[in-house]
A and B are shown apart, each in its own frame.
Chain A
């Protein structure tokens, strides 16, 4: 069975602070994919990033960066210099051989002006 754990329920920051969202996963599959999605107050799920299990290279894309560590089964996500528009619920998700997405419970990020 696959499991995704987002231990942080809510994070509140002041604009321009960095925000790091933790994600820990469990899977028996050797090939799997990890995702981060954003759900703003409007409700739609917005795809942010995807990583496969063979690619541990960490990258930066604009104000987003991620840290994938297979050894600790973690896939953390950072927003640098947060803005009010970053306020949303962020979901970490995993898909394995069965291609079904397993979601974490989500972390609500509130960025105050």
Chain B
């Protein structure tokens, strides 16, 4: 596609439920990133996929968070047993071979009630 697409744009969920956030990167981009932005805060790195290499999961805040990338394209970020502190905007970005420029999606605003 022309840009990075994320769905849903907004998600309200009850505490304890699982949620899945989807990211569709720019076609041909080999690198895909997930970031989290809490209200009024900067961006926090979560996970990074590069081609067929093992993902860098060093930013995932707990084992309730996981992500996968199927076929080197679409990625899904899953949060299990959501907590109120998980409320944030989750941003996905893709890039051609890393530092050549990162394009961000519009994000998914997650609210845990």
A-side residues, CB < 8 A to B, are 32-33, 35, 37, 43-45, 47, 50, 52, 91, 95, 98-106
Contact = CB atoms under 8 A, between A and B. Distances in A.
A37 B59 CA distance: 21
Interface residues of B, number: 24
Contacts of B35: 101, 103
B99 A99 contact: yes
24 contacts: A32-B99, A35-B102, A43-B89, A43-B106, A44-B104, A44-B105, A47-B101, A47-B102, A50-B101, A52-B99, A91-B42, A91-B43, A98-B48, A99-B48, A99-B50, A99-B95, A100-B33, A100-B45, A100-B59, A101-B35, A101-B43, A101-B102, A103-B35, A104-B42
B31 interface: yes
Interface string B7-37: 0000000000000000000000001010100
B76 interface: no
Nearest to B98: A99
A47 B45 contact: no
A91 B93 CA distance: 15
Contacts of B59: 100
Interface in B59-98: 59, 89, 91, 93, 95, 98
Given A33-B99, A43-B107, A47-B101, A99 B31 contact: yes
